Amino acid sequence: MSADAVRSVVMEREMPYPPEKIWRALTQPELIAEWLMKNDFRAEVDHQFQLSADWGSVDCQVLVVEVNKSLSYTWVAFGLESVVTWTLTPTGAGTHLRMEQAGFRMEQEQAYKGAQYGWQKFLGALEQVAGRVD
């Protein structure tokens, strides 16, 4: 791999809920706060928002909004410039959810490993929140 090569963290999960429920958990600020971080998110292309936690914050900008199908935004924090993309695909039993965070440079091993760990936890929490959505 060349020095400027980048990697992605990809998580895929089957959830026993329709895409509409998961979409709400991905796009409603009060629900995002339950599974990810405090935020001022709006599902509007070009909207700039911030995710914040006790360890710091992440600067983001919405890139793609396809209701109940796809959501993508930038994720910039601590020298990491990446893009998070959520893809929702209906299945017979619910929804196949795919999350990809792309843009980890080779020297960002700690951020890459941290994202692999963090997204596992976040997706578990997201599934619980989606299960409570009306």
The pLDDT tens digits along the chain (134 residues) read 555 689 999 999 999 999 999 999 999 999 999 999 999 999 999 999 999 999 899 999 999 999 999 999 999 999 999 999 999 999 999 999 999 999 999 999 999 999 999 999 999 999 999 999 98
Q: Under a CB-based contact definition with an 8 Å cutoff, are residues 20 and 33 in contact?
A: no
Number of domains in the chain: 1
| Residue 11 is assigned to a structural domain of this protein | no
Q: In what order do the strands lie in the sheet with 70-77?
A: 6-15, 94-105, 80-91, 70-77, 56-66, 48-53, 38-39
**At 110, which CATH number?**
3.30.530.20
User: For residue 68, is it within any domain?
Assistant: yes
Domain for residue 3, yes or no?
no
Structural domain for 83, as ranges = 19-132
Residue 4 lies in a domain: no
